[in-house]
Amino acid sequence: MRKSSKYNEAIRNLSPEQYRVTQQNDTEAPGTGEYLDNKEPGIYVDLVSGRCSPRPTNLTPGAGGPASPSPLNLRMSTNRDTTHGMIRTEVRSADADSHLGHVFPDGPRDRGGLRYCINSASLRFIHRDGMEAEGYGAYLNQVEDVQ
């Protein structure tokens, strides 16, 4: 898929790590993601497209970024990924075609059995207190406090 020119500015403004992850399909090193230990209420926004996902309700130790049983409101596509000697399912932004992370079949059974591991470098976090001002007020009712 060819990226829309409307995302060119966002791509130009990525840090080297964000570019490596989102545009070159790389993955953050385990345990290094900026949002790995984030317990603040808010949403994650796809760094390139601006589409949002309410805050995951759990984090997986050792993952590069937040892990969630459901990536609510994040438009995604999936692809088979056979890199690094593994067979995984890659998760990409359906809007900007950026690499977001991977999905695994070992998530909570009561929530569909899937666990999405999304790289922190592919996201931007917006605290609940700033959501209205940044145009994400419609998602305020979906933000949960995390223990």
Taking only the tens place, the pLDDT of each residue in 65-82 is: 555 544 445 567 788 988
pLDDT at residue 18, rounded to an integer: 95
The pLDDT tens digits along the chain (147 residues) read 445 567 999 999 999 999 999 999 998 888 888 888 888 888 888 899 888 754 443 334 334 555 554 444 556 778 898 888 888 899 898 888 899 888 888 888 887 788 888 888 998 888 999 999 999 888 888 787 665
Q: Taking a C-beta distance cutoff of 8 angstroms, is the pair 22, 10 a contact?
A: no
Strand arrangement of the beta sheet that strand 123-127 belongs to: 52-54, 42-46, 123-127
Are residues 88 and 79 in contact, defined by beta-carbon separation less than 8 angstroms?
no
* Per-domain boundaries in the chain: 5-142
Q: What is the reported pLDDT for 104?
A: 86
Query: Any idea which fold 5-142 has?
Result: 2.170.150
d(CA 41, CA 146): 7
pLDDT of residue 139: 84
Q: Which of 117, 118, 126, 143 is catalytic?
A: 117
Confirm whether 52 is a catalytic residue: no
Contact 53, 75 (CB under 8 A): no
The predicted structure's pLDDT at residue 29: 85
